[in-house]
Each structure stands twice: as structure tokens, then as C-alpha cells.
């Protein structure tokens, strides 16, 4: 089945983790082992995606600016963070030149991608991607938002982890920063998508009040099943449903089960792909239908198979999900909605 993955940190891993995503996964893992920082446990590469129908994804830029009092890793000025995102953008452009990737900025380009990937795609079909920004700290000024839009940026999550310039993220608290409402208004004017993933509860509440455009949660699970501030409460899920959002479920083990610890292992905790189905099913039950759930795997998002379901070896295993849903009584239409249809419909409405 054709799959839309709403969150894959491709450029970050290509540059920061030095992974050549054009290579086979076996090669990437072997080369990881020559560097003491990486453990050869990655799950993503372009050939695996292409061979397994994952033909469309949301691909982020990410670079955190940290003030002196912030002990999180990051860049020491917004200008450095902006330059880092520009380097990541250059990698996407290089992949376009090779024919590996193809950008989506308009509804027409989206429809072209759907035609390719739902009509017996050729073996060398490009993987189409929509450019997003995870954490807006790299926006030196509000004027940089329009500049980034011209470069193809179509979605922004105002915060990542910790305190931010425009909003507060995971493990932080408080509402939008003084510049937050201005950022959201600029995004709304440009027709950009607000990604509420990683917003702390206070910033989520304020952002939803200020921003009246299209909203999604690209990679978020349910707090009811994995109690942690990183996940969405049932009330937040219901509000997102009322706003027509789509929520992408993530495959990071600590976001999937309630008892994950720093020393946990997928086998020790018995984390499987069924837990992802649990989160998606929970959202479907709250909605009363299958129209608001999708996949935002976050695979290789700072972790590998040491922190994914024990029955997942690579991104190719997303193709196991349709049968898991059908085993729970989901119809073919429901499964198609979840695997790609909902995010495609959302973008057909959101893109000009």
C-alpha cells in the first residue's frame, strides 16, 4: 500500500549523523559502526522507502537556538541556527538533483505525486516530500518566514524541546513567547500549516486560540495510553479533530507505552507494532471514524531499533500495519485513510 509518513528527519540524519540515505540500509549501518557516536541501528534509507511504497513524506528542517541559561544542545545564535537549516535545505536540493527526491509545494505537485505512487510506480520513482520546520528558533526575524516559504517551507512547529523564542516545547511550560502570535499570524497569512507537535500544554492552548489556519500534529501519540506531557490529551485530540487536523502516530517506544525507562529495551517491555495501532485506534474511537489519524513515524528521530517496536527492523515494516488494522476490523477504506488518505486530503485542502 502507498504510505504517507508525516515525519522523517532525513536531512538532519544525512548531515549530523553522516548517513548517506541513498545507500542500502545494510551499508548505512555498517558505516555507522566506524563512528563511535552511532550504533548501526538506523531504520531509514531512500531505497527502503522506495521499494516499500513510502513515496510521500514530510521532511523537516531543525536547528535549535539556545540562550546561555538553556542547557539543551543547540546553536548559540539564531543566525547560526538559520545557517544550519540552510545547510539541511541544500541536502534536499542535492537529492532533487539526483532524482532521489521531489518537492511538493502546491496541490498540483501533490496530485502528480499521488498519480506516480498509486499507479504502478517505476523502480526509480522519486520520493516526494513536503518541507517543514521543527522548532521555529531558526527564524531570525518574522521576515525569514516569508523567505523560507519562498524556499518551499509549508509547515512550522513553533517549538521543539525546552523553551523557545516563539513558543515553549516539550519539558517546558508557559504560553507563546512575545513573538509567538506574530509568527502565527505570518504563517496564517502565507497559508502555512501549524504543527502542534512538541508544544507544551500552555503554548498549545494559546496557539490554537491565535492561529485560525490549517493545523496538524505530525508525530504525536496519546497521553491516555502513554502518560507523558509529550503526548496529546484526549481533550487536545478532540479539539484537533474539530479543527480538521490529522494526527500522525510515532514509533518511538517511550511514546508508545507507559512504563518505558532509560534502561528499557523493546523486548524487555514487549513493545510491538500493535501499540502503534492502539494509539491510532484510540484517536479513531474519539473521532467516531478513521478520518483524523495517520502515520508520522519519526523513525531515526534520534533513536534506532534500540527504541522501536521489537517487531520493526526498518521503515519497510510500516507495510505490516494494514494487516494489523484489518485484524481489528478496520475496513479497506479505513486502512487507506490511515496509511495515506487523510494526510493527502488534508494537503489537497491546505496547499494552493
pLDDT tens profile 44-78: 999 999 999 999 999 999 999 999 999 999 999 99
Taking CA 142 as the corner, what is the angle to CA 160 and CA 296, rounded to the nearest 5 degrees? 30
β strands within 6-159, DSSP E: 56-61, 101-103, 127-134, 153-157
CA 182 to each of CA 167, 178, 290: distance values in angstroms, whole numbers, following the listed order: 11, 8, 34
Taking residues 140-155, report their average pLDDT: 98
- Please compute Rg for the chain using Cα positions: 19
Lowest mean pLDDT among 27-36, 125-134, 156-165, 239-248: 27-36
Alpha helices per DSSP H over 118-225: 143-150, 180-190, 201-210
Of the chain, the percentage scoring pLDDT greater than 90 comes to 96
Q: Using CB atoms within 10 Å of the CB of residue 52, give its burial: 0 to 12 exposed, 13 to 18 middle, 19+ buried.
A: middle
CATH topology of domain 4-350: TIM Barrel (3.20.20)
pLDDT 10s digits, 259-270: 899 999 999 999
Taking residues 287-314, report their average pLDDT: 97
DSSP-derived 3-state class of residue 115: helix
Rounded distance between C-alpha atoms, residue 323 and residue 325, angstroms: 5
Would you say residue 34 has pLDDT above 90?
no
Taking residues 127-131, report their average pLDDT: 98
Would you say residue 253 has pLDDT above 90?
yes
- Residue identified by cell 517551507 is 153
Would you say residue 338 has pLDDT above 80?
yes
Taking residues 309-324, report their average pLDDT: 98
Count Cβ neighbours within 10 Å for each residue of 116-154 and write b for 16 or more, e otherwise.
bbeeebeeeebbbbbbbbbbbbbbbeeebbeebbebebb
Quote the pLDDT of residue 35. Answer: 66
Quote the pLDDT of residue 9. Answer: 98
pLDDT grade for 39, boundaries at 50, 70 and 90: confident
* Spatial contact of 306 and 265, defined as CB atoms under 8 Å apart: yes
Q: Which residues contact 145 (CB under 8 A, 6 or more apart)?
A: 139, 153, 156, 183, 186, 187, 190, 192
Of the chain, the percentage scoring pLDDT greater than 70 comes to 99
- Residue identified by cell 533513536 is 303
Please state, rounded to an integer, the average pLDDT across all residues of the chain.
96
* Spatial contact of 312 and 273, defined as CB atoms under 8 Å apart: yes
The pTM score is 0.97
Quote the pLDDT of residue 177. Answer: 85
CA 91 to each of CA 60, 61, 83: distance values in angstroms, whole numbers, following the listed order: 12, 11, 13
Quote the pLDDT of residue 352. Answer: 83
pLDDT grade for 37, boundaries at 50, 70 and 90: low
Ramachandran assignment for 135, one of left (phi > 0), alpha (psi -120 to 50 degrees), beta (any other): left
Rounded distance between C-alpha atoms, residue 350 and residue 107, angstroms: 8
- DSSP annotation of 192 reads P
Quote the pLDDT of residue 29. Answer: 95
Q: Which residues contact 175 (CB under 8 A, 6 or more apart)?
A: 167, 168, 202, 203, 205, 206
Sign of the Cα pseudo-torsion (118, 296, 67, 74, in order): negative
What's the CA dihedral at 148, 149, 151, 153 to 10 degrees? 90
* Spatial contact of 141 and 150, defined as CB atoms under 8 Å apart: no
Taking residues 102-122, report their average pLDDT: 97
- Which cell goes with 73? 544542545
Q: What are phi and psi of 172, to 5 degrees?
A: -120, 180
Quote the pLDDT of residue 38. Answer: 62
DSSP conformation letters of 310-344: TT--SGGGGGGHHHHHHHTT--HHHHHIIIIIHHH
β strands within 108-246, DSSP E: 127-134, 153-157, 193-195, 215-216
Amino acid at each position: 500500500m502507498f504510505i504517507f509518513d508525516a515525519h522523517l528527519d532525513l536531512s538532519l540524519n544525512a548531515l549530523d549523523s553522516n548517513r548517506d540515505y541513498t545507500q542500502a540500509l545494510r551499508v548505512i549501518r555498517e558505516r555507522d559502526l566506524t563512528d563511535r557516536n552511532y550504533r548501526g541501528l538506523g531504520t531509514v534509507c531512500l531505497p527502503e522507502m522506495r521499494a516499500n511504497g513510502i513515496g510521500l513524506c514530510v521532511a523537516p528542517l531543525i536547528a535549535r537556538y539556545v540562550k546561555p541559561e538553556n542547557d539543551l544542545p543547540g546553536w548559540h545564535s539564531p543566525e547560526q541556527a538559520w545557517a544550519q537549516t540552510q545547510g539541511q535545505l541544500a541536502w534536499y536540493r542535492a537529492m532533487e538533483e539526483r532524482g532521489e527526491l521531489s518537492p511538493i509545494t502546491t496541490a498540483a505537485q501533490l496530485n502528480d505525486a499521488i498519480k506516480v505512487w498509486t499507479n504502478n510506480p517505476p523502480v526509480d520513482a522519486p520520493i516526494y516530500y513536503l518541507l517543514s520546520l521543527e522548532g521555529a528558533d531558526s527564524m531570525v526575524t518574522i521576515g525569514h518566514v516569508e523567505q523560507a516559504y519562498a524556499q518551499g517551507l509549508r509547515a512550522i512547529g513553533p517549538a521543539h524541546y525546552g523553551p523557545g523564542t516563539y513558543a515553549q516545547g516539550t519539558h517546558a511550560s508557559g504560553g507563546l513567547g512575545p513573538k509567538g502570535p506574530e509568527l502565527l499570524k505570518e504563517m496564517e497569512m502565507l497559508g502555512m500549516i501549524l504543527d502542534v507537535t512538541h508544544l507544551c500544554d500552555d503554548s498549545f492552548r494559546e496557539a490554537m486560540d491565535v492561529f485560525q489556519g490549517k493545523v496538524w500534529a505530525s508525530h504525536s501519540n496519546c497521553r491516555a495510553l502513554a502518560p507523558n506531557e509529550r503526548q496529546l490529551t484526549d481533550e487536545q485530540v478532540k479539539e484537533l479533530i474539530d479543527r480538521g487536523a490529522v494526527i500522525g502516530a510515532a514509533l518511538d517506544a517511550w511514546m508508545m507505552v507507559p512504563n518505558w525507562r532509560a534502561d528499557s529495551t523493546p523486548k524487555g517491555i514487549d513493545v510491538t507494532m500493535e501499540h502503534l495501532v492502539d494509539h491510532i485506534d484510540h484517536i479513531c474511537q474519539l473521532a467516531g471514524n478513521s478520518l483524523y489519524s495517520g502515520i508520522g513515524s519519526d523513525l531515526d528521530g534520534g533513536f534506532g531499533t534500540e527504541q522501536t517496536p521489537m517487531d520493526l527492523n526498518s521503515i519497510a515494516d510500516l507495510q505490516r500495519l494494514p494487516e494489523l488494522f484489518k485484524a481489528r476490523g478496520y475496513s479497506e477504506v479505513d486502512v487507506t485513510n490511515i496509511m495515506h488518505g487523510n494526510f493527502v486530503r488534508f494537503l489537497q485542502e491546505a496547499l494552493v
